[in-house]
Structure 1
């Protein structure tokens, strides 16, 4: 069955790829995107390859989810909504609180208000949630119990203890986090993503719409922003390597993330948008494999065939988590999909793409200075 899919934030890293996947399978695609300079540059029609990639693929509406009029226009004819529009970045969210809450939570509320109170053809809404809603995620105690530890303390980290602790427990062992884990985000960004997901999963069934929530892990790959200092360490470290600058590795370098390649994320989102089995589901979208920051650095050195100095500094950011690993069992069992691109393979593809792009200015240091000025970076 051919759908008319509205992708909010559809000119971004994930959305533009998803639009091409949907259009290539015979679906009609509309994109609503604010085309913010932090992602697309000051002159998007000229500076944004992601926007240009939508030529002939989707109708593009320049607008924002914080505008009822823009949303109303974008919803015309849509049968499925993939709601990707959001401010992203854990660190920035801790001091640009109003902007994150306004876009992520109020924008989602406006979308649902229209769906609840106006005529439309929408039958499914897919919300891009995040691993950040789990906070520190799932751990095992010494006697095998699953626990969900609280956020790490500033006092412990200042003393060089970056591990996760829980009162009354001995050493804890990180394990993959499943969808039924406790939700206790440690950042403003995580809070807004939890609220987005809760709004969609609560309201949609009451108005006859199928909700689906996708808890993305750390998405990376060709096409991600090299300008935006809040898009992740692969872009940040790649720019530093190309500039020949030192890489400052926070904490002890053993903190880990679940990196999932863009093609795997797009396919999981495509299936969640079109498969009947996805209705009402909440799915982790990740590789299920932890990769430490030290491993990331070595993989990038290998992919670029060069190295720069590194320094394990012990710096840390308030709001960051120690580890995250997704349990992807539900994605496999319900949708029959398992992300397939190994990290080393994905990094090579990413690096090959980066080398074709201009070397960007170093906006990363400015972002760190902003956090340090607010006592969020120690």
Structure 2
């Protein structure tokens, strides 16, 4: 049994990871301030410790890390909204970068030796630089405070890995979807909001012409990638794209969902939002060399998500 810390563990990816790790017999501590996550996402289990706290409370985080000496640390806590970072750059910076840097520093200063620290970065770091698909060596052109903080934090972590021999990896998530996304949030993933629209047979606003494309990856494939990277020594000190290597337009997703649900929705159009990127998909060769293979395509992922929503 491993001792695991997940920051942001009541959120979408974090809660799914928590359940996966608990099902494998691990002891999991979740730290989440519930600003975006939901405690209802988490099961009631004796091996789960939930602490409602912000990772910006550096004294608390330092004491927790030293006291528990975790085997694995997954850093998922973030203000996950690009739009929010544009509105509140300083506040989001303190959560998305400063708080994580203090965690790295606690590990360094107190000579903690977790088997792996994994930081969740984002495909947003690539910005709208036009070369596609994105490799880990593609030019970085972050357009927003969110993307800047994600890139800076992953670089800090790689520096700590190399300078202080901390076993760390970073992952650049592309467009993850699945159970526990919060459709009530205006900044939720587009597929979460779209799913809720089909459930209510309401109206869905497309920002732009709907031809923008994304590399959508289902949550179970993301969990497989995270566990692979946590256990493979070749992942140390490295950054990985976590995606499928396939691209789908938003209008194609709507069409797929109409077929899956046998429903129609009203689609309206508005101007693209500031900071939005038109096309994004990944080259996943680096992750694939470690044995990663995505198993769920967009259509199957949407089918499973719809089944979950209507369970």
- Offset at residue 293 of structure 1 (A): 0.9
SS at match of 2:150: helix
Counterpart in the other structure of 1:163: none
Counterpart in the other structure of 2:278: 322
| 1:131 to 2:123 alignment | yes
Contact 2:178 2:192 in 1 (8 A): no
Residue 219 (structure 1) aligned to one of 163, 176, 197: 176
Distance 2:69 2:206 in 1: 48
Deviation readout 1:175-230 (Å, 9 max, x if unpaired): 31100011111122111111111111112322221220111100001221122221
- Offset at residue 57 of structure 1 (A): 4.1
- Offset at residue 119 of structure 1 (A): 4.4
Answer with 260-269 or 54-63: which moved more: 54-63
SS at match of 1:265: helix
Cα root mean square deviation, aligned:
1.7
Distance 2:2 2:166 in 1: 15
SS at match of 1:346: helix
- Offset at residue 97 of structure 1 (A): 1.4
**Which consecutive residues of structure 1, in runs of 5 or more, have no partner in the other structure?**
140-174, 357-378
SS at match of 2:87: coil
Distance 2:44 2:242 in 1: 24
**Which consecutive residues of structure 2, in runs of 5 or more, have no partner in the other structure?**
none
Counterpart in the other structure of 1:193: 150
- Offset at residue 345 of structure 1 (A): 0.3
Contact 1:187 1:320 in 2 (8 A): no
Structure with higher Rg: it is 1
SS at match of 1:113: helix
Residue 64 (structure 1) aligned to one of 54, 70, 73: 54
Contact 1:134 1:185 in 2 (8 A): yes
TM-score, length of structure 1 as denominator length: 0.77
Counterpart in the other structure of 1:345: 300
- Offset at residue 276 of structure 1 (A): 1.8
Deviation readout 1:274-327 (Å, 9 max, x if unpaired): 22222122111001111111012112222222112223x251101011110110
Answer with 23-32 or 288-297: which moved more: 23-32
| 1:281 to 2:281 alignment | no
Distance 1:215 1:78 in 2: 23
Residue 310 (structure 1) aligned to one of 245, 267, 281: 267
Contact 1:65 1:110 in 2 (8 A): no
- Offset at residue 30 of structure 1 (A): 1.8
- Offset at residue 116 of structure 1 (A): 2.1
Counterpart in the other structure of 1:97: 89
TM-score, length of structure 2 as denominator length: 0.93
Distance 1:74 1:271 in 2: 26
Distance 2:184 2:72 in 1: 31
Counterpart in the other structure of 1:8: 7
Distance 1:343 1:209 in 2: 36
| Equivalent residue pairs, number | 309
SS at match of 1:271: helix
Contact 2:161 2:237 in 1 (8 A): no
Counterpart in the other structure of 1:354: 309
Answer with 67-76 or 336-345: which moved more: 67-76
SS at match of 2:209: coil
| 1:80 to 2:80 alignment | no
Distance 2:17 2:265 in 1: 35
Counterpart in the other structure of 1:241: 198
Distance 1:225 1:248 in 2: 17
Counterpart in the other structure of 1:228: 185
- Could you list the structure 1 runs, at least 4 aligned residues long, displaced by more than 6 angstroms after superposition: none
- Offset at residue 256 of structure 1 (A): 0.5
Contact 1:133 1:190 in 2 (8 A): yes
Contact 2:71 2:114 in 1 (8 A): yes
Deviation readout 1:90-110 (Å, 9 max, x if unpaired): 222210212210100111121
| 1:34 to 2:33 alignment | yes
